[in-house]
Amino acid sequence: MAIGTGTAILAGTVGSALLGSSASKSAANAQVASADRAAELQREMFERQVQLQEPFRQAGLTAQQRYLNMLGLQGQAPTARSEAEIRNALASQYMKPSGGYYEDYTEGGGDNGPVLARRWVSTPTVENEAGLNAAVQAAMAQDQAAQQAYQAERQAPGFGKYARDFSMEDFQQDPGYAFRMSEGLKALDRQAAARGGLISGAALKGAQRYGQEAASQEYTNAFNRYQTNRANQLQPLQSLMGTSQTAANTLGNAAGNYAQGAGEAYMGAGNARASGYLGGANALTGALNQGLNMYQDQQFLNRRRPSGGGVGAQIGSSVSYLPDDRDIGGGGYNPIFGQMGGN
């Protein structure tokens, strides 16, 4: 009877512990799944923002390249590597150890002086000579293409167009000045033709004065037109560069927000897992401790029962939990106090 009761108690507490542990782990898993989904959603939103901002970023990079080109600015010129330098840089990718030798060397320098030691020095050899040669040729072609592109950019029309001051060449090529001079000289030619091709000294002086005055008046106008045209070409590029910078800042903020949100989500997932493990352990230990206490109480009560087979013993064995010294039916045996009751 005692063994069966103890087994039932332990079975009940173990079952309760398992249920509590399972419930705790299920709740933790639900929290982990929710945190993982939140982090995944933030990653999807960040990638979407990258896609939406990429056209503006690319436009800004293109505008920046054109802007620098018009100001005569370039990056560092490509390095012209020799074939030997390229081969040495790539050789390790096509080599394998094929032997070696022992080398004596000294190390240390303490109280006992340097110590003579020996080490193994491997001697690798090229395993794929054809592959190495092909890689060297490809690298040389890439270097040559980069150098040609660099030089072509410097020689392109408009390179460095606005990197210099307004010059006499710019003034003479100004459309307004050229038009005014052309029309003025045509008028003088018409006057000379009307006189039979004769040009008087006064007419020559007038033509000279006209050219000087036109040059004086049009220089300022030509300079202003040059500055206006310069601004009209550079400002749109600056605007696009600003748009690209805004896009980059937006992506930077989005990346920071994603890192913070995802970090918090993963931290929450870790805490949920830890809580699940801790809750399961607490459920098991709590239920087992409770079952052990109940089992010990039952064992104590069982030891207090009489071993005889009288009526009182039979009654006492059927009722084992009495809160005080009252008897059963006026004459039963109280197992807690070990005595027979009386009227």
- pLDDT tens figures, 277-308: 666 666 667 766 776 677 677 677 777 766 55
Shared domain check, 87 and 68: no
Collect all residues with Cβ–Cβ distance below 8 Å to 9 and sequence separation of at least 6.
Answer: 291, 294, 295, 298
Task: Give the highest mean pLDDT range of 28-42, 134-148, 234-248.
Answer: 134-148
Shared domain check, 8 and 43: yes
Shared domain check, 329 and 299: no
Structure token pair of residue 136: 């060297």
Tell me how far apart the alpha carbons of residues 238 and 249 are, in angstroms, rounded to a whole number.
Answer: 16
Whether residue 183 is contained in a domain is answered as yes
Q: At what angle do helices 129-155 and 83-90 cross, to 10 degrees?
A: 130
Nearest Cα residue to 154 out of 53, 60, 78, 260: 78
The whole-number average pLDDT for the span 209-235 is: 80
The pLDDT value recorded for residue 307 is: 56
Shared domain check, 150 and 87: yes
The pLDDT value recorded for residue 7 is: 62
Shared domain check, 68 and 31: yes
Whether residue 247 is contained in a domain is answered as no
The answer, yes or no, to whether residue 343 has pLDDT greater than 50, is no
Shared domain check, 51 and 18: yes
Answer yes or no: pTM beyond 0.75: no
Whether residue 161 is contained in a domain is answered as no
Contact predicate 327/340, CB 8 Å? yes
Mean pLDDT of the chain: 74
Contact predicate 328/335, CB 8 Å? no
Q: Which long-range contacts (CB under 8 A, 24 or more apart) does 61-69 make?
A: 61/244, 62/240, 63/236, 63/237, 63/238, 63/239, 63/240, 63/241, 63/244, 64/237, 64/241, 64/244, 66/237, 67/234, 67/237, 67/238, 67/241, 69/153, 69/156, 69/158, 69/159
The pLDDT value recorded for residue 1 is: 45
What range does the domain containing 330 cover? 311-340
Whether residue 78 is contained in a domain is answered as no
The pLDDT value recorded for residue 85 is: 92
Shared domain check, 184 and 219: yes
Last residue of a domain, one of 206, 237, 268: 237
Structural domains in the chain (count): 4
- 332 pLDDT band, cuts 50/70/90, is very low
Whether residue 66 is contained in a domain is answered as yes
- 223 pLDDT band, cuts 50/70/90, is confident
Task: Give the highest mean pLDDT range of 35-49, 143-157, 209-223, 300-314.
Answer: 143-157
Q: What tens digit of pLDDT does each residue of 66-113 get?
A: 888 888 888 788 888 899 999 888 888 887 777 777 888 887 766 676
Shared domain check, 321 and 298: no
Task: Give the highest mean pLDDT range of 139-153, 173-187, 309-323.
Answer: 139-153
Shared domain check, 299 and 315: no
Last residue of a domain, one of 121, 155, 189: 155
339 or 53: which leads in pLDDT? 53
Whether residue 119 is contained in a domain is answered as yes
Whether residue 14 is contained in a domain is answered as yes
The whole-number average pLDDT for the span 131-155 is: 90
Whether residue 248 is contained in a domain is answered as no
